[in-house]
Structure 1
Amino acid sequence: MSYKLYGAIGFGVGGLIAGLAGDYMILAFIFFGMIGSAFLSIPVRDLKFTILSSLLGAIGFFFGFTIPMFVVLGVLDLGLLFVGLIMGFLGGGLLGFAYKNMQVFIPAGMIGFGIWGFVIDILRPFYTVIHPAIVMMIASALAGAILGYAANTAKRAENHK
Structure 2
Amino acid sequence: MLISCVLGSQNLTNEDLNKLYYDPKWSSSKIYRKTGIHSRPVVKDELVSDLAVGAAERLFEEHGIDRREVDFLLLCTQSPDYYLPTTACLVQDRLGLPTSIGALDFNLGCSGFIYGLSLAQGLLSTEAANKVLLIMSETYSRHVHPMDKSTRTI
TM-score (norm 1): 0.31
Q: Which has the larger radius of gyration?
A: 2
Bigger fraction of residues in helix: 1
Bigger fraction of residues in strand: 2
